[in-house]
Amino acid sequence: MSVTFSKVQGYVTIRDGNKDRRVSFQSLQPAFTGTAVLPVIICIPSLGDLCEECECYAREPRGHRVMIVDHRGLGESDVEFTSYAAHYCGSDVVALIKQEIPLNQKVVIIGNSMGGAAAVWVASELPRQVDGIVLLDAFVRDHPFPFGMQTLLSFLCSDFIGPMFWPS
């Protein structure tokens, strides 16, 4: 049985320093609704991937609303953020939950890679609303990088070279 969804593009406004920035998300609402209140499923893709990476998760959860977040600087999100770390991605998802989902509505978060680190952060910030997390190939702790790796990653994600590696 195929489930049809209506897809809505939305934005959450995030305060970044002294400027407002937008983080985009897609909301996939099932064509039918039951009487039970089901958790909203929020998907956070891996770094460098767009909302479309997670659309496959929306095919199976019958009756659930599925929301997929674009990372800062990717997809339809603004690119001029001052930081792109996992906990900032998590704070974007917290803002999404607070702005788009009622307080009494539970959420389940699916996080892939860096999205998993953000999912854990969100669960720690909103423990009463997050009903569960699913981690896919996630890294969820800070550990020291091998010599030179932090410099290499900073260079690859810089404004100068980053757009060549992370086109959106």
Is a pLDDT exceeding 50 seen at residue 6? yes
The whole model's pTM is what? 0.73
Q: For residue 31, what pLDDT is reported?
A: 53
Confidence label for 127 from pLDDT (cuts 50, 70 and 90): very high
Tell me the average pLDDT across 113-125: 91
Shortest CA distance to 81 belongs to which of 72, 90, 89, 71?
Answer: 72
Residue 22 pLDDT > 90, yes or no? no
The DSSP secondary-structure symbol of 143 reads: -
d(CA 44, CA 146): 27
- Tens digit of each residue's pLDDT (9 = 90 or more) over 42-93: 988 887 777 777 777 666 656 778 888 887 777 777 777 777 677 888 888 9
Q: What is the mean pLDDT of residues 137-165?
A: 69
State the Cα–Cα distance between residues 110 and 55, nearest whole angstrom. Answer: 12
